[in-house]
Amino acid sequence: MDQLVFYSKSKNADPGAGIHEKTEDCYDELKKYDNWRKQLSNFDCSVEFMFNNYRYRSVEHAFQGTKISLADKSKGFLFTIDSGHIIGQSDGAIAQKNRKLLKLSPEQITEWNKISCQVMKDATYAKYGHALQNNNHIVKMLLATKNSKLIHLQLQRGKPSKLIHFKHLEDIRTTLNNQNELSCV
């Protein structure tokens, strides 16, 4: 199975030319999108979307804002576009840098560990749902990844540390493919 790897600072290279990638399929359509790896990242701000009744610039904003809201809803609100705050108006890297705006209690950490994967999945679905409604290019870009395994490269202190399978992105791609098939019938 082909494997495509991405993160927020990925180089703009052809599919198969990235670190830890393996491809046998042809990805001519995907090559048309500059910085497609960065756009698959949680830090991507190419689509504003609604999540839990607030507007967000990136999945990272929604993710970190939801986490901080467990301790203080007003501080979590800072991650939204609606707040007008610099955190909510900035890029995904700023959202990630503010992930420790507040210290969570042990109980809040336990709660976050229970819901964090679902929050990531739901925020990503919200982003791609909004993109689909507004005919944003990221939908076609995601579809251009075909049936490849989508892997997020996590860095620690600027060095690769962990490969994380973004199954939720693959699930979104499958849903989008099925919608396209239904609309062609």
3-class SS of residue 61:
helix
Residue 140 lies in a domain: yes
Domain stop point among 115, 146, 161? 115
Structure pTM?
Answer: 0.92
Question: Roughly what angle, to the nearest 10 degrees, separates helices 59-69 and 106-133?
Answer: 150
In this prediction, residue 41 has a pLDDT band, given cuts at 50, 70 and 90, of: very high
Same domain, 53 and 109: yes
Residue 184 has pLDDT above 50, yes or no: no
- Asked if residue 176 is part of any domain, the answer here is yes
The answer as to whether 126 is a domain residue is no
Q: How many domains does the chain have?
A: 2
Please tell me the predicted confidence (pLDDT) of residue 181: 54
The pLDDT, as a whole number, for residue 33 is 96
Which of 24-28, 127-131, 153-157, 168-172 has the weakest average pLDDT?
153-157
Q: Is 153 a member of any domain?
A: yes
Are 13 and 31 in the same domain? yes
Nearest of 57, 41, 21, 27 to residue 166 by alpha carbon: 41
Q: Is residue 121 part of a domain?
A: no
Cβ-in-10-Å burial (0-12, 13-18, 19+) of 86 comes to exposed
DSSP code string of 156-173: ETTEEEEEEE-HHHHHHH
Average of per-residue pLDDT values in the chain: 93
Does 99 share its domain with 144?
Answer: no
Q: Are residues 93 and 144 in the same domain?
A: no
Give the span between the Cα atoms of 29 and 145, in whole angstroms: 9
Q: Are residues 72 and 102 in the same domain?
A: yes
Question: What integer pLDDT is reported at residue 180 of this predicted model?
Answer: 60
174 is in which domain, residue-wise?
Answer: 3-43+136-184
Q: pLDDT tens for residues 106-161?
A: 999 999 999 999 999 999 999 999 999 998 999 999 999 999 999 999 877 767 67
Instruction: Check whether residue 32 and residue 18 sit in a common domain.
Output: yes
Q: Same structural domain for residues 24 and 56?
A: no
- Are 147 and 165 in a shared domain? yes
The DSSP secondary structure of 115-160, one letter per residue, reads: HHHHHHHHHHHHHHHHHHHTT-HHHHHHHTTTTPEEEEEEEETTEE
Judge whether 95 lies within some domain: yes
